[in-house]
Amino acid sequence: MADDLAMMPAHALARLFKKRKASPVEATKAALARIKTFNPVLNCMQHVDADSALKQARASEKRWSKGKPIGPLDGVPTTIKDMVQTRGMPTRMGSAAIAADGPWDTDAPAAARLREAGTVLVGKTTSPEYGWKGVTDSKLFGITRNPWDIHKTPGGSSGGGTAAAAVGIGNIAIGTDGAGSVRIPCSFTGLFGLKPTFARVPLYPPSTQGTLSNAGPMTRTVRDAALMMNVIARPDPRDWYSIPTDDAEDYLKGLKKGVKGLRIAYSPDLGFVEKDKIDPEVAQSVANAAKTFKKLGAKVVEASPKLNGLDPRDIENVHWTSNFSVLIKGFAPEKQALMDPGLLRAAEHGSRHSLEAFIRAGHQRVQLGVIFNQFFQDYDLLLTPTMPMPAFNVGEPAAWGGDGLDIGWTPFTLTFNLTRHPAATMPCGTTKAGLPIGLQIVGPHYADARILRAAHAFEETMPIPPPPMALGS
Amino acid sequence: MKSDLTQASAAELSALYRKGKASPVEALKAILARAEKINPTLNALCLIDAEPALKQAAASERRWKNGAALSALDGVPVSVKELVRVKGWPTLMGSKAVDPHQPWDEEAPSVRRLREAGAVIFAQSTSPEFGHKGVTDSPLRGVTRNPWNLDKTSGGSSGGAAAAVAARLGPLAVGTDGGGSIRLPASLCGIVGHKATFGRIAAWPPSVNGDLSNTGPMTRTVEDSALMMNVIAKADGRDPTSLPPDDTDYVKKIDGKLKKLKIGLVLKFGDHDLDPEVSALVTKAAKTFQKLGCDVEEATPDLGGVDGRKTFVIHWLCFVQRVLQMFPSERHQLLDPTLLAMARDGAKYSSADLVAAMADRRTLSLGWNRFFERYDLLLCPTVAVAAFDTGKMAPDQADGTPNQRWSPYTYHFNLSRHPSASVPCGLTRAGLPVGLMVTSGHYRDALVLRAAHHYQRAAPLKMPALPAT
C-alpha cells in the first residue's frame, strides 16, 4: 500500500488524506523508499533531505487530521530541479563551480508557492550545468538515466526531475524550460509537462536565459499539472516580468470540457523541420494523436505557419550561446576549469556573434512571434511532435551526433521559447523498442488552461503508463 | 455663441456632441483653421489630411445625431506621430532614407482601435528620425518648436504631438516612448503623457527599439488620457508581446479614492544636476499629494549598483545601429548626422556588451519592483530641466558644455516596463512648464492615471493661449 502511494496521482493522494486512508508521512516515506531503490540506478537526485521531508509531512498530517489542509497539494511529495532555489537545500545549478556551502536561504517563487501550499519538498533533482543542454549529465553528479531504458538519456535539462517523477520519487516535479528543458525530458520519460506562457510562472533570480526561460510542472497526470499551476502561476514581485496581479485563473475549471468544436492545426513539421529528420514511429504516433482529437470532436486540419525563411533553430542558437558567454564571464578562470567543457565551448562560440547578428536574432524572434500570433488567430491549438526522436543513448551531448553547440535537434520545443507561447508535451504512444513518444500541444498566449483541457481529453483516451521499472517488475 | 472648440478637451467635446451643442465637423474645422494659422510656425504637424478627416467627421456627426456614437471618442480629432502607421499615409519616420513609395496599406493597432471608436484621424505629427533623440528636428521636417516659447525645443521624440496638443491642434495625440519620448515632450510642453506598462497597448510593426518602445496617449487632461486608454489599451494579434486582455475602465477608475497611498519621492536618480526650479515644483507637488491624504516620504531606490544610464545607452545605441543595416551604405548620407553618429557608436559594442547590459537591466528592474513593493507610487521630476533652445541635443551647463544628463529619469521605466505618466506641475520663472512623473508597479496604469488625475484637479496648470508671441 505505502509503495503505491508513490505512484499515485497527487489529486488521488489528497482524497486518501482527506478520508484518512493514507497520510502525508506514509506518502513521504514511500517517496523516500523509492529514492533508495531507484536513485542508485537513475542518479536523478542532487540532494535529499529525508529528515526535513518527514518533518514537513508530519506538519501536513496534523493539518489534515484537523480537517484544515492548506489545499489539495498539502502533503504531496514534490521534487525541485537544481536550477530552482530552495530554502534549506543547496542549489548548485548542476555546477561544480558553485560551492555547496550556501547560505541557502531563498525560495524561488515556484518553491515558495509549493511550500506555502503545504507540499513536502523531498529533494532537488539533477540538471546539466546551468541547464545548458538537452540531456542530463554533469561533472558534478555524473549521468542521469532514463527509467524506460537505463542506457538512454531521460533528456534534459530537467531530466533528473522527470526520471524521478516517472518512478514515483515525488508525485509531482518542477522543472525549467529555456529551449525545451521541461518538454524534452517529459517526452523522453513519458510524462506530461507544461512550459506555461512566458512569465505566467514567475522566476527569481532572473535566469541567464532571460525571456527564454520558464518554470513549469512535470507530472504523471494532466490534472496534477493543473493543480500545480493553481499554486505556482501566481505573480511574485521579484519577477519583473510576472504577469498581472489580477491573473487568478483556476486551471481546474473547464479541465473536463473536452475539445469539441476547437479548431486544431496539426503540423507534422512546423513548417521548417526536415521530414527525413523525424523518426517515422514518432511521426506515426503524432498523426494518430491528431486523429484522436478529430474523433473527440475537434476540427483538425493539417496546417503549418509560413515562416518566410526564418529558422527558429538559428535564432535560438544565437540567443542562448550569447547568454552563456556572458554567464561564463562571471566565473574566475579557476572556476571555469571546473565547468563542463561543452558549456565552455558553447559560451566561447556565443562570444563570437557580432552585435549585428545578435540584434538581428532579436528582431527575427519578434517576427517569428508575430507569425505564430497570427497563426493562432485561425487556430485554437496546434499539435506537433514534441521531439523528432525518442530518447537516445546516454553520454551523447545531443541527438544526431551533435556536439551540443547546436540545439537544433529540438526544433519543435525551442520555437515556443522564442515566441513565448504556452506548450505542453503529452505522451501519445511508445516505439517498438518501448520508448515513450510525446505529442506537443501549443496554444495562443495565456491559453494555458485550454492546453490542459485538450491534454486531459486526450489522456482519457490514452492514460499515461508508468515505466515497467516503476512497477517493480 | 459657441465657445472656441479648439479649447475643449475630448471629454468636453464628447459631451457637447451628445447634447447636440457642437458637431464633430465644427470641431474639426476649428482645429484645421487654427492649424493653418499656427502650424507653419510650430512645425508640429507634417501632414494634415483635411478632406478624408472631414468625411470621417461628417460620418461621426450622423452617428451622434442617430444616437449611434461608437464611443466617447467618436468625432474627436486625433493626430498620430509619424512613427506610427496610418493607412494611406506615408510613415516616413522623419527620414529622407525611407522610401515614400510603399503601399502604406496597414494600420498600427492603436490607430485601428481609434478608428473603430470613431475618432477623426486628421494629422500626422513630427518626430526626429526614427525617434532617436530627445528633441524634435530632422533633415526631412526641419525644427519643431515649443508653443510656450518658440525659441525652445518641444522635446522629443514625440515633440510634434506635444506641441500640437499644447497649442490646441487637436485634444488627443498618439505618441511613442522608447526612452521617455512621450513623457519628456509632455513635460516640456505642459501636457499629460502616459507610457503604459509594456505590452498593455499593442503595437505593430515591431519597433527598432524592441521592448523599450511603447505607444501611448498625449493629452491636455488626465481624463482624456484615460479615455484614450479605454480605446487603445487592447491586445492585437500582430503584437506577440501584448498582455492578456483586461477590461479596465480607466475613466471610471481615475475617480477612485487616493487616500492613504504610500508614496516615495525621489528627486534625483543618481549623480546628475537638477534645476532648482524643477526640484522646488516637484517637491511642492509632493506636498499636494500629502494634502490629498497620501503618505509621502523621501525614498531611495536600491538598484543593485547598476548604472541605469549606461545600461540604457548600450541598449539604445545597439538598437539604433540597426539603421546601418536597414539602408544600403550609399543612403547613409541621407540620415540625420546625429543618428548616424549614434549608430556608428552603437556598432562598436559587442554582443557580449549588450547581453551584459540586458542582465543589468534585469537587476535594475528588480530593484524598481522591490521599490514598488514598498510604495504604491513614485514621484520624481519627468526631466531635470525645462525646455532649452532649439538646435541643440542637450541644454548647456554653466561651463557652456552640453549637459548629457538632462533626462535621467524617464528611461528607467522603459528598461523596467513600469507604467509612468507625466503631468504638468507648474511653470518656471521664465514661464516654461515642468512635469511631475508618476510611476507605479506593473499593470497599475489605472492607479498612475488616478493619482495624476487627482493631482491635476488639485493643481491645474493654467494654459495661456499658445503659441506665446
Domain boundaries, chain B: 5-458
Contacts of B215 (CB under 8 A, 6+ apart): B84, B108, B109, B110, B174, B175, B176, B177, B201, B202, B203, B232
Report yes or no: A370 at the B interface, CB cutoff 8 Å: yes
Question: What was the pLDDT predicted at B208?
Answer: 87
> d(Cα A284, Cα A264) in Å, to the nearest integer?
18
Report yes or no: A243 at the B interface, CB cutoff 8 Å: yes
Q: What are phi and psi of B101, to 5 degrees?
A: -90, 75
Q: Which positions in chain A touch B109 (Cβ < 8 Å)?
A: none
Cβ burial of B239 (10 Å; 0-12, 13-18, 19+) is buried
Place of cell 511521426: A283
C-alpha cell at B11: 471629454
Closest chain B residue to A446 measured between Cα atoms? Answer: B244
Closest chain A residue to B351 measured between Cα atoms? Answer: A355
Report yes or no: A308 at the B interface, CB cutoff 8 Å: no
Q: Write the pLDDT tens digit of every residue in B161-182.
A: 999 999 999 999 999 999 999 9
Q: Which positions in chain A touch B198 (Cβ < 8 Å)?
A: none
Question: What was the pLDDT predicted at A93?
Answer: 97
Mean model confidence pLDDT for chain B = 96
CA B99 from chain centre, in angstroms, equals 26
Report yes or no: B71 at the A interface, CB cutoff 8 Å: no
Q: Do A366 and B350 touch (CB under 8 A)?
A: no
B134 within 8 A of B182, measured Cβ to Cβ: no
Q: Do B318 and A355 touch (CB under 8 A)?
A: yes
Note which residues in 153-192 of chain B have CB less than 8 A from chain A: none
Q: Per-residue confidence at A405, pLDDT binned at 50, 70, 90?
A: confident
Q: Do B321 and A354 touch (CB under 8 A)?
A: no
B181: annotated active-site residue: yes
Q: Do B353 and A353 touch (CB under 8 A)?
A: no
Q: What average pLDDT does this structure show over B456-466?
A: 92
pLDDT for residue B447 is more than 50: yes
In the chain, the amino acid numbered B80 is V
The residue from B60, B95, B181, B416 that is catalytic is: B181
pLDDT for residue A177 is more than 50: yes
Q: Do B369 and A372 touch (CB under 8 A)?
A: no
Question: Mutate which of A130, A240, A359 to disrupt the B interface (most B C-beta within 10 Å)?
Answer: A240
Question: What was the pLDDT predicted at A361?
Answer: 96
> d(Cα A301, Cα A298) in Å, to the nearest integer?
9
Report yes or no: A374 at the B interface, CB cutoff 8 Å: yes
ipTM over 0.90: no
B89 within 8 A of B183, measured Cβ to Cβ: no
Q: Which of A210, A325, A360 sits opposite B352 (nearest CB)?
A: A325
Interface size between A and B, measured as CB pairs under 8 A: 115
Q: Write the pLDDT tens digit of every residue in A322-365.
A: 999 999 999 999 999 999 999 999 999 999 999 999 999 999 99
pLDDT for residue A2 is more than 70: no
pLDDT for residue A455 is more than 60: yes
pLDDT for residue B2 is more than 70: no
Å from B102 to nearest chain A CA? 20
Q: Which positions in chain A touch B358 (Cβ < 8 Å)?
A: 210
Question: Mutate which of A245, A246, A317, A355 to disrupt the B interface (most B C-beta within 10 Å)?
Answer: A355
What is the value of pTM for the model shown? 0.90
Q: Which of A351, A360, A374 sits opposite B352 (nearest CB)?
A: A351
Closest chain B residue to A323 measured between Cα atoms? Answer: B355
Q: Which positions in chain A touch B108 (Cβ < 8 Å)?
A: none
Q: Write the pLDDT tens digit of every residue in B380-416.
A: 999 999 999 999 999 999 899 999 999 999 999 999 9
Q: Which positions in chain A touch B322 (Cβ < 8 Å)?
A: 356, 359, 363
> d(Cα A386, Cα A246) in Å, to the nearest integer?
32
Q: Which of B319, B355, B369 sits opposite A238 (nearest CB)?
A: B369
Å from A208 to nearest chain B CA? 8
Helix (H) or strand (E) holding A176: strand A172-177
Question: What was the pLDDT predicted at B1?
Answer: 36
Q: Do B244 and A363 touch (CB under 8 A)?
A: no
B95: annotated active-site residue: no
The residue from A81, A124, A152, A195 that is catalytic is: A81
Report yes or no: B242 at the A interface, CB cutoff 8 Å: yes
Q: Which of A322, A359, A420 sits opposite B240 (nearest CB)?
A: A420
Residue B2, number of CB atoms within 10 A of its CB: 10
CA distances from A426 to A132, A163, A300, A449 (A): 23, 16, 17, 14
Note which residues in 180-209 of chain A have CB less than 8 A from chain B: 204, 206, 208
Report yes or no: B240 at the A interface, CB cutoff 8 Å: yes
Q: Which positions in chain A touch B441 (Cβ < 8 Å)?
A: 237
Question: What was the pLDDT predicted at B419?
Answer: 98
Torsion region of B305: left, alpha or beta (phi above 0 gives left; psi -120 to 50 gives alpha):
left
Question: What share of chain A in percent tops pLDDT 90?
Answer: 94
Q: Per-residue confidence at B298, pLDDT binned at 50, 70, 90?
A: very high
Report yes or no: A331 at the B interface, CB cutoff 8 Å: no
- The answer to whether domain B5-458 has CATH 3.30.750.24 is no
Q: Which of B240, B355, B365 sits opposite A240 (nearest CB)?
A: B365
Q: Which positions in chain A touch B350 (Cβ < 8 Å)?
A: 351, 354-355
Q: Do A359 and B354 touch (CB under 8 A)?
A: yes
Stated length of chain A: 473
Positive or negative, the CA dihedral B46, B218, B396, B468 is positive
Q: Do A358 and B355 touch (CB under 8 A)?
A: yes
What Rg do the C-alpha atoms of chain B give, in angstroms? 21
Q: Do B355 and A323 touch (CB under 8 A)?
A: yes
Question: What was the pLDDT predicted at A473?
Answer: 44
The residue from B14, B23, B81, B152 that is catalytic is: B81
Contacts of B300 (CB under 8 A, 6+ apart): B266
Closest chain B residue to A245 measured between Cα atoms? Answer: B443
Q: Do B240 and A419 touch (CB under 8 A)?
A: yes
Question: What share of chain A in percent tops pLDDT 70?
Answer: 98
Burial A138-170 (b: 16+ CB within 10 A, else e): bbbbebbbbbbbeebbbbbbbbbbbbbbbbbbb
SS3 A306: coil
Q: Do B325 and A356 touch (CB under 8 A)?
A: yes
Q: Per-residue confidence at A31, pLDDT binned at 50, 70, 90?
A: very high
Å from B414 to nearest chain A CA? 12
**Which DSSP symbol is given to B329?**
G
Cα–Cα nearest to B110, from B196, B32, B27, B24: B196
Q: Write the pLDDT tens digit of every residue in B245-264.
A: 788 999 999 998 898 999 99
Place of cell 554567464: A327
Q: Do B370 and A237 touch (CB under 8 A)?
A: yes
In B359-403, at which residue ranges do the beta strands (DSSP E only) sit?
A: 377-381
Closest chain B residue to A318 measured between Cα atoms? Answer: B351
The residue from A60, A157, A242, A267 that is catalytic is: A157
Q: What average pLDDT does this structure show over B292-313?
A: 97
**Which DSSP symbol is given to B62?**
H
Q: What average pLDDT does this structure show over B193-210?
A: 94
Report yes or no: B405 at the A interface, CB cutoff 8 Å: no
Report yes or no: B363 at the A interface, CB cutoff 8 Å: yes
Cα–Cα nearest to B161, from B55, B235, B83: B83
Q: Do B243 and A243 touch (CB under 8 A)?
A: yes
A133: annotated active-site residue: no
Report yes or no: A471 at the B interface, CB cutoff 8 Å: no
Question: Mutate which of B212, B247, B355 to disrupt the A interface (most A C-beta within 10 Å)?
Answer: B355
